[in-house]
Structure 1
Amino acid sequence: MSDALIDSLTAAVQARPDDLPLRLHLAELLVAAGRGAEAIEHAAQVLSREPGNEAARGLMASALAPPKAAEQTGPAPSVGPAPSAGPSGADPAAGRPAAQAGGVDWAAMEQEFGDVVPPRFAKAGDEPEPVTGHADRSFDVERSTVTLADVGGMAEVKKRLEVSFLGPLRNPKLRSLFGKSLRGGLLLYGPPGCGKTFLARAVAGEMGAAFISLSITDVLNMWIGSSEKNLHDLFESARGHAPCVLFLDEIDALGHKRSQLNSSAMRTVVNQLLTELDGVQGGNEGVFVLAATNAPWDVDGALRRPGRLDRTVLVLPPDAPARASIIEYHLRDRPVAGVDLTAVAAATENFSGADLAHLCETAAEYAMRDSIATGEIRMINQSDMLNAAREVRPSTDAWFTTARNVAMFANQSGEYDDLAAYLKKRKSR
């Protein structure tokens, strides 16, 4: 076969790419010349426009066949009945299974040329995806970039974390001397919006550890046994990425008091959580469990047993210096002029971190509203901040009303002594 003729036809196809008969003729010449790899591309282009073109299918089969089979088949074979198979169920000429009639492995071709040739059969819109087993949960693992230095205030909380987790991790020899294990659990509780989740991320960043945040939506499933398996998989992921901080957000939802549960399925979830915290099926060395809740009185008592979430830390609303830092943070990218952070912090006692963010948003709305009304842009000033402080009410008041009853009438074990002391101090102000 003359290479000059093939080159001429190739140039013609490039000039007229939509001329399918010309492209097929070029593919025939390429197959006859033993240049099957080049013929495949042209046959695939034809099939992408005409999936039922028998000549293109035959050329594709010839181009994919071994050289000897290609010589016997000819430049443009038709797709006919399969040759007789040998005893092993294979085509003795092509060495392919007899089930692949005509020597064409359409499944392999569809996989190899899927980006050029459309699929042979379209899926129904409601056809479920094939189940390939349980997905790897490693994508849930994060690397925190914040540290305790980014957390304003919370001196007592930081001190407790240093003793429980960070100190032993930084001093392995001292840890070995005192027999301090790297496993442990800490329950953070307090009013909503006071930074419990942010604190957990800061602990992970301080340790240089992996961080996995677990919520009720990551665990609960309508199928029996699936919730327990999800919980086990998440703990296994934490063990596989040790040192790792596993953060159990809203632990009262996953670990609610079993005596108050009407669902047997939820009771088994609590039992599975207890098993994972004990590390019965896998060691929890290097897995630091931090749990957070707004309602510690709803958490099952077994979860707070020694060896599980045995240490409890009250996370209170930020103090005045911390409030000033939080306000400054939320004003950092806004136009501000003459704002006295100390005065604003003094006017926002009992505000949570979330309340302070809302306060800054409200002050920005005041300045923006005036700018729209007057047609002149003005900065956020002290008056905006103080007006916002009068409008926004602290969201922690409702929580402390409930907590006061718990501290007064349900503190026989002394587990809420720190809360009682704070409420007493707050009342005396």
Structure 2
Amino acid sequence: MEQMDPSVFEAIRASVEANPENLALRLHYASLLATASRFGEALEQATLVLGRQPDNLEALKIAADAADATGDKIRAHGYRKLHEALSWNSAKNLIGESEIAPPPPTQAPVSPPSPQALRDGYSEPDDEPGQWETERPEIKLADVAGMETVKRRLQTSFLGPMRNPDLRKLYGKSLRGGLLLYGPPGCGKTFMARAIAGELGAGFLSVGLTDVVDMWLGQSEKNLHELFQTARRTRPCVLFMDELDALGRKRSLMRHQAGTGLINQLLAELDGVEFDNEGVFFLAATNHPWDVDAALRRPGRLDRMLLVLPPDLVARESIVQKCTKERPVDRLDTRWIAEKTEDFSGADVAHLCDSAAEFALEDSISSGTVRPINMGDFKQALKEVRPSTRSWLETAKNHAIYANEGGIYDDLLAYLKQRRML
């Protein structure tokens, strides 16, 4: 019987704390906690999800089972009744009320597996490693609005050598490489990675923490190996790994020695000692580069770091135009909106557009007259939506000043000086 890897909980817990708005990740964490009989923690995480999504069926089920296991029968019964009602209504809407029977009475709760049952073989891990499919992105860097400095650095330090085989051969440049994209959340690191794959004409394989990490000891390493094998079979391929700080967390920050196995496996795959990585381009993204193990940033691995900053004026205006393209609008001054959203991430700008649309929708409902989104809606939304990048910049400033070994944060320092934050 395989044991559950304790480093899984530490890695996902850290990632949840770093990305509190990622409800899917929090729900996955709750599920793992429940499977490990940590029902109190599972209930807490499921409740947090329900606070944002009260109709989330999976969260309701986890909360009901966890409440049962902690002895809170009344709370568990309430969660189950709500789960049954929402499940029945969903089915009724999809199929038709006359074609389905009403939900049966709530059954007596089934006790969750005990720790002894888990040890005795209650659940076995999947013997087959996860399967991934590569895609061929059609977008290129030209489709990324603004951000000219980032694109220029990409062309010079990464894309140029990769696309010129004669020069690469002349200068002895191997067709392999690693690049770490870092910066505030919501600023387009994943979109940039997809554009890089499009520029190279390569396949794109994107994975996150939950795609690799498994609760069973040793299975995470197997998943990671199969992931790299898939990239090698489909080369040229850009292998993009999000939330690297969770997978490649500094070993000194880990509470469990077992967690180092995943990092060691990642290092072995990147070094390509047993396997040829020619044509496999490893890209990773993180919001917390200072938490990434230093061994991953050594030459031959993720030896280049690129700062992806909040979108500039041109990029912000492009995001506003894209977000309002399919919506009814009335004489929007997109340049004015872009000028008022300095320090907004791309996700912040999109949220601003959604908020303005909600104001117009609410007004249309209350007045009974449909009207388009106007500048008044955006001005009202600007009073409520604030940039999310400033807290990240304040945190990053300390690391850039006091932990700038080898000048890895020189770009960040230059940006902070430009913004007069130093």
- TM above 0.5, yes or no, is yes
Identify the residue that residue 260 of structure 2 maps to in structure 1: 267
Structure 2 residue 381 is matched with structure 1 residue 376: no
Identify the residue that residue 300 of structure 1 maps to in structure 2: 293
Q: Following TM superposition, by how much is the alpha carbon of 1:339 offset from its aligned partner in structure 2, in angstroms? A: 0.6
| Residues in 2 aligned to 1:170 and 1:427: alpha-carbon distance in whole angstroms | 38
Q: Following TM superposition, by how much is the alpha carbon of 1:201 offset from its aligned partner in structure 2, in angstroms? A: 0.9
Q: Secondary structure at the match of 1:317?
A: coil
Q: Following TM superposition, by how much is the alpha carbon of 1:169 offset from its aligned partner in structure 2, in angstroms? A: 3.3
Structure 2 residue 311 is matched with structure 1 residue 318: yes
Q: Which amino acid aligns with 1:315?
A: V
Q: Is the 8 A contact 1:318 1:352 kept in 2?
A: yes
Q: Secondary structure at the match of 1:185?
A: strand
User: Which one of the candidate residues 131, 134, 138 is aligned to 2:128?
Assistant: 134
Q: Which amino acid aligns with 2:415?
A: Y
Q: Following TM superposition, by how much is the alpha carbon of 1:166 offset from its aligned partner in structure 2, in angstroms? A: 2.5
1:66-120 C-alpha deviation (Å, 9 max, x unpaired)? xxxxxxxxxxxxxxxxxxxxxxxxxxxxxxxxxxxxxxxxxxxxxxxxxxxxxxx
Q: Secondary structure at the match of 1:288?
A: strand
Identify the residue that residue 152 of structure 1 maps to in structure 2: 145
Structure 1 gaps of 5+ residues are 1-127
| Residues in 1 aligned to 2:399 and 2:171: alpha-carbon distance in whole angstroms | 36
Q: Which amino acid aligns with 1:212?
A: L
1:238-261 C-alpha deviation (Å, 9 max, x unpaired)? 111110000010000010101111
Q: Is the 8 A contact 1:140 1:213 kept in 2?
A: no
Q: How many residues align?
A: 303
Identify the residue that residue 359 of structure 1 maps to in structure 2: 352
Structure 2 residue 251 is matched with structure 1 residue 258: yes
Matches within 5 A, 1:9-158: 134-135=128-129, 137=131, 139-158=132-151
Q: Is the 8 A contact 2:129 2:226 kept in 1?
A: no
User: Which one of the candidate residues 387, 390, 404 is aligned to 1:397?
Assistant: 390
Structure 2 residue 186 is matched with structure 1 residue 193: yes
Q: Following TM superposition, by how much is the alpha carbon of 1:146 offset from its aligned partner in structure 2, in angstroms? A: 1.9
1:17-76 C-alpha deviation (Å, 9 max, x unpaired)? xxxxxxxxxxxxxxxxxxxxxxxxxxxxxxxxxxxxxxxxxxxxxxxxxxxxxxxxxxxx
Identify the residue that residue 213 of structure 1 maps to in structure 2: 206
Alignment CA distance shift 1:428-1:280 (3 Å): closer
Q: Following TM superposition, by how much is the alpha carbon of 1:311 offset from its aligned partner in structure 2, in angstroms? A: 0.4
1:222-253 C-alpha deviation (Å, 9 max, x unpaired)? 22211111111101111111100000100000
TM-score under structure 1 normalisation?
0.67
User: Which one of the candidate residues 161, 178, 196 is aligned to 1:168?
Assistant: 161
Alignment CA distance shift 1:195-1:130 (3 Å): closer
Q: Secondary structure at the match of 2:314?
A: helix
Q: Following TM superposition, by how much is the alpha carbon of 1:170 offset from its aligned partner in structure 2, in angstroms? A: 2.7
| Residues in 1 aligned to 2:312 and 2:125: alpha-carbon distance in whole angstroms | 52
1:329-349 C-alpha deviation (Å, 9 max, x unpaired)? 111110011111111101000
Q: Secondary structure at the match of 1:324?
A: helix
Identify the residue that residue 247 of structure 1 maps to in structure 2: 240
Q: Following TM superposition, by how much is the alpha carbon of 1:266 offset from its aligned partner in structure 2, in angstroms? A: 0.9
Decide which structure has the larger Cα Rg and report it: 1
Q: Following TM superposition, by how much is the alpha carbon of 1:132 offset from its aligned partner in structure 2, in angstroms? A: 9.5
Structure 2 residue 347 is matched with structure 1 residue 347: no
Identify the residue that residue 195 of structure 2 maps to in structure 1: 202
Q: Is the 8 A contact 1:347 1:386 kept in 2?
A: no
Q: Secondary structure at the match of 1:134?
A: coil
1:175-198 C-alpha deviation (Å, 9 max, x unpaired)? 211212110000100000000011
Q: Is the 8 A contact 2:189 2:285 kept in 1?
A: yes
Alignment CA distance shift 1:279-1:366 (3 Å): same
Identify the residue that residue 422 of structure 1 maps to in structure 2: 415
Structure 2 residue 173 is matched with structure 1 residue 180: yes
Q: Following TM superposition, by how much is the alpha carbon of 1:160 offset from its aligned partner in structure 2, in angstroms? A: 2.2
Identify the residue that residue 215 of structure 2 maps to in structure 1: 222
Q: Secondary structure at the match of 2:383?
A: helix
Q: Which amino acid aligns with 1:269?
A: L
Q: Which amino acid aligns with 2:247?
A: L
Structure 2 residue 288 is matched with structure 1 residue 287: no
| Residues in 2 aligned to 1:371 and 1:132: alpha-carbon distance in whole angstroms | 51
| Residues in 2 aligned to 1:184 and 1:412: alpha-carbon distance in whole angstroms | 21
User: Which one of the candidate residues 299, 302, 326 is aligned to 1:333?
Assistant: 326
Alignment CA distance shift 1:382-1:237 (3 Å): same
Structure 2 gaps of 5+ residues are 1-121
Identify the residue that residue 401 of structure 2 maps to in structure 1: 408
TM-score under structure 2 normalisation?
0.68
Alignment CA distance shift 1:136-1:423 (3 Å): closer
Q: Is the 8 A contact 2:144 2:192 kept in 1?
A: yes
Q: Following TM superposition, by how much is the alpha carbon of 1:289 offset from its aligned partner in structure 2, in angstroms? A: 0.7
| Residues in 2 aligned to 1:200 and 1:352: alpha-carbon distance in whole angstroms | 17
Q: Secondary structure at the match of 2:407?
A: coil
Q: Secondary structure at the match of 2:419?
A: helix
Q: Following TM superposition, by how much is the alpha carbon of 1:164 offset from its aligned partner in structure 2, in angstroms? A: 3.5
Q: Is the 8 A contact 1:165 1:182 kept in 2?
A: no
| Residues in 2 aligned to 1:386 and 1:307: alpha-carbon distance in whole angstroms | 49
| Residues in 2 aligned to 1:397 and 1:141: alpha-carbon distance in whole angstroms | 35
Q: Is the 8 A contact 2:364 2:370 kept in 1?
A: yes
Q: Is the 8 A contact 2:130 2:223 kept in 1?
A: no
| Residues in 1 aligned to 2:281 and 2:316: alpha-carbon distance in whole angstroms | 29
